[in-house]
Structure 1
Amino acid sequence: MTRLLLERADDTYEVELLYDLAFAPGRTALSSYRLRSGPPVEGLSWMVRDEYDVLAAAIRYWPVRVGEAAALLLGPIAVHPVRQGEGLGALLIRHTLELASGLGWSRVILVGDAPYYGRFGFRRDLALGLEYPPPTNPERLLALELEPGAMTGVAGLVEPA
């Protein structure tokens, strides 16, 4: 049995440990972390705990801007190594994207693998006008429209909100 839960302040330390386990402690040197200033978007930091209350997966989103356009930056998302392949990451992504749309967000960007994120609707062609802080492989920059046409005309440097 797994439980999908909103991350609380008391969970932060444990979630950070999961991110360290999944990405290594040097993860904060990645370009995405320069965009993660301030707290994550309220209501979009979720986690999965198992029947023993062990943290199995977590996701967060951050507010960013591309020119005048507001967007969500998905990530990090992590699944504990012993729980990978169980669909927990997909569960978190689907759940939070639905919530994000309900909260009025219209676009989401991320740096990730197109074959994985493509099944959720993320596309490379929607992100072609985006400039991401280096060093980032531009082929890994993806975007999703939560509202049709939300990425039309959105171009420029991705910056913290």
Structure 2
Amino acid sequence: MTLHTSDDTEIASLIKVRLETSDDEADIEALAAAAFGPGRFSRAAFRLREGVASDPKLSFIAKLDDRLAGSVKLTPCLIGGKKALVLGPLVVDPDFRKLGIGRELMNRSLFEARRQGHSLAVLVGDYAYYGPFGFDRVAPGQITFPGPADPLRILACELAPGVLDGYRGQAERDFG
């Protein structure tokens, strides 16, 4: 089912973005399973988030009426012993793509992370997509992820100016 019309702006204006709640978790998991399949469990970023709760003050969903349109999570991690955030997954229902939902979710989560005083967000992803949000490639070897991760896809976003140089080492789970 495709919800696109000749006026996608009209549909986009009906989409509401809010903090996720525990009631949303089953729908978020179903959307992630449909979008990424079982292979998501072996990805480096998933392994970094595994067993660690995302930050409920930084994780958002987008809904149209009662239907989940998208989700983004920020989860605490440690890089060389210093606190940081790992972004992901960012997932948008295929029926809602090209409406700016991913962009709105990204902007909202990063704005809140800055506002709440966080320093750095990292992810493994496509620079062409995440670059406009302030993510840049990390120098090879500066930050590593558990499991296989293409060094050219390890990206970081400084949430406070000039902090990236102070981060070096393995990204690890932060159980708080």
**TM-score, L = length of structure 2:** 0.86
Q: Which runs of 4+ in 1 moved over 4 A?
A: none
Which residue of structure 1 lines up, in the alignment, with residue 129 of structure 2? Answer: 116
2:62 maps to 1:48: yes
The amino acid across from 2:147 in the alignment is: P
* Deviations 1:115-138 (CA, angstroms, capped at 9, x unpaired): 110001100046751111221111
Q: Is the contact made by 2:140 and 2:152 (CA closer than 8 Å) also made in structure 1? A: no
Which residue of structure 2 lines up, in the alignment, with residue 81 of structure 1? Answer: 94
Which residue of structure 1 lines up, in the alignment, with residue 119 of structure 2? Answer: 106
Q: 1 CA distance for matches of 2:26 and 2:19?
A: 15
Q: Is the contact made by 2:19 and 2:56 (CA closer than 8 Å) also made in structure 1? A: no
In structure 2, stretches of 5+ residues that fail to align are 1-13
SS of 1:27's equivalent in the other structure is helix
What displacement does 1:68 show? 2.5
The amino acid across from 1:29 in the alignment is: S
> In angstroms, what is the RMSD of aligned CA positions?
1.3
SS of 1:94's equivalent in the other structure is helix
What displacement does 1:53 show? 1.4
Which residue of structure 1 lines up, in the alignment, with residue 79 of structure 2? Answer: 66
The amino acid across from 2:159 in the alignment is: L
5 Å-filtered alignment, 1:1-161, equals 1-36=14-49, 37-50=51-64, 52-125=65-138, 129-161=142-174
Q: Is the contact made by 2:55 and 2:73 (CA closer than 8 Å) also made in structure 1? A: yes
Which residue of structure 1 lines up, in the alignment, with residue 10 of structure 2? Answer: none
How many residues are aligned here? 160
* Deviations 1:23-49 (CA, angstroms, capped at 9, x unpaired): 113312222222112211121111000
SS of 2:110's equivalent in the other structure is helix
Q: 1 CA distance for matches of 2:106 and 2:94?
A: 17
SS of 1:152's equivalent in the other structure is helix
The amino acid across from 2:32 in the alignment is: Y
